[in-house]
Amino acid sequence: MSFCHGDTAKALDNRRIFLGGVGIDYRRLVCCQQIHSDNIRYIEDKDCGRGALSEEDSLPQTDGMLTDEPDVALAVFTADCPSLFLYDPRRPAVGLVHAGWRGTKLGIAAKAVAMMCDRFKSRPLDLRAGFGPAIRKCCYEVGGEFSGFFGCGLSRNGNRYYLDLIGVNREQLLGAGLRQESISDCGICTSCSRREFFSFRIEGDSCGRMMSVAMLRPAVRC
């Protein structure tokens, strides 16, 4: 799905086919040039098409997007990093976050919740969250220095350290006021399931990217 990672020759066709199947115009997609930051933007209809047809037109230096406007499709691209979906059914509003370890270290999940509360007057108890496929603690080996980065989510097996990125982000969401039962997780490990999903840890620089998409449907009037 990416224009700049992996085999890019059919990326646009792949987007068109996938998005067409769920009723989204691929030409209106909003993409960002992810830099593993905690930068989050509010997206409006006028932003539609940014990054839809070329990488150069993507929103720069952004790893999270929020919108309360219908028919605005947000997209992030991952290959081990978690994608985090946020939804406020009361407003309604949605958010989509690329939550790699650097962004997680900066608290991007909690920041996204805070921005939804500020921008949309969302209430944390109303919010629903979901995690897409990502590398799990069974496979995500990290260096010992990570013990200084995270207060939770790190386990040790002998001299090896493993990070539970989903668990850390879950704790951020709970700390921001979400209810445990409002947080869902597909439970898929991209490293364990590398035949079905891209994994940067396994494939390296040649790795392609999956796309996660969130969009509010226009209201139906009866």
Question: Can you tell me which residue has the tokens 């840890």?
Answer: 201
What confidence tens digit (pLDDT) does each residue in 134-174 have? 999 999 999 999 999 998 999 999 999 999 999 999 999 99
**Residue-averaged pLDDT of the chain:** 96
For the segment 184-204, the average pLDDT, to the nearest whole number, is: 96
Tokens of 27: 């030409």
**pLDDT at residue number 222:** 52
For the segment 86-95, the average pLDDT, to the nearest whole number, is: 97
For the segment 44-72, the average pLDDT, to the nearest whole number, is: 98
Whole-model pTM: value is: 0.95
- Asked whether the predicted pLDDT for residue 221 surpasses 70, the reply is no
- Asked whether the predicted pLDDT for residue 80 surpasses 80, the reply is yes
- Domains of the chain plus CATH, in order, are 11-207 (3.60.140.10)
- Asked whether the predicted pLDDT for residue 77 surpasses 90, the reply is yes
For the segment 102-114, the average pLDDT, to the nearest whole number, is: 98
**pLDDT at residue number 61:** 97
The set of long-range contacts for 139-143, using a CB threshold of 8 Å and a minimum separation of 24, is: 139/189, 139/191, 139/192, 139/201, 140/80, 140/164, 140/165, 140/191, 140/201, 142/101
Contact 107, 172 (CB under 8 A): yes
> What is the band of 218 on the pLDDT scale with cuts at 50, 70, 90?
confident
What confidence tens digit (pLDDT) does each residue in 47-59 have? 999 999 999 999 9
**pLDDT at residue number 168:** 98
> What percent of the chain stands above pLDDT 90?
96
- Asked whether the predicted pLDDT for residue 219 surpasses 90, the reply is no
